[in-house]
Chains A and B, each alone.
Chain A
């Protein structure tokens, strides 16, 4: 079974703080993804990575950056957290058949 783990289930940060969300997969998959999920808006892709040190912007990259130094680890960085970044953040990886496998999610609250 594919296992995707995320560093925190719940996180509370203050406006202006730098926030790191980490994701680790154990299947040696090439591709990894970061989404945010909000009520009424569904899943929206922030960034994805198709190899170590390679990244590509998704649909809503503004205010975020990513880092992939090792194949199994993909980090999402909020340089200066804002209240409109309060959301559920989901990491995923995909198999050779392109089905995506998700982590449990991090519910981030920015106050």
Chain B
């Protein structure tokens, strides 16, 4: 069974204080690791897909990286508008397109 663990559960940063969010996964044959951002009361918004160890993707202040066991979402010089819950999900082998989600990391950035 695929498993995804995200840590820490919550993270509070000062504006400009860079940090990383962790997503550890167990899946036999990774077919994709996905990062989402979710604002309170809204649906998750897709950010990145990573497929193989060593791959990196960037968008503004966010950079996602992937190893064989975990993924990191690095946030450089965050701003208050980066405050949100960040979700990680994996897709394993098999014909269907189900994703297994972690419970998310709630990030608060203080001005």
Contacts and interface: CB of A to CB of B under 8 A. Distances in A.
Interface stretch (B38-46, B59-67, B74-82): B38-46
Given A42-B102, A99-B49, A31 B43 contact: no
A26 interface: no
Given A41-B103, A58-B98, A107-B41, A101 B46 contact: yes
Contacts of B32: 97-99
What's the dominant secondary structure at chain A's contact region?
strand
A105 B98 CA distance: 19
A90 B34 contact: no
A50 B43 contact: no
What's the dominant secondary structure at chain B's contact region?
loop
Interface in A78-101: 90, 92, 94, 97-101
Given A42-B101, A42-B102, A45-B98, A99 B34 contact: yes
A48 interface: yes
A48 B42 contact: no
Given A42-B103, A98-B32, A100-B46, A31 B97 contact: yes
Contacts of A99: 32, 34, 46, 49
Given A90-B43, A98-B91, A105-B43, A43 B101 contact: yes
Contacts of A74: none
Nearest to A40: B103
A38 to B, nearest CB: 10
9 contacts: A42-B102, A90-B44, A98-B91, A99-B34, A100-B44, A102-B43, A102-B44, A105-B43, A107-B41
Given A97-B32, A100-B89, 15 more contacts: A42-B102, A42-B104, A43-B101, A45-B98, A48-B96, A48-B97, A98-B31, A98-B34, A99-B46, A99-B49, A102-B43, A102-B44, A104-B43, A105-B43, A107-B41
Interface of A: 4, 31, 40-43, 45, 48, 50, 56, 58, 90, 92, 94, 97-105, 107
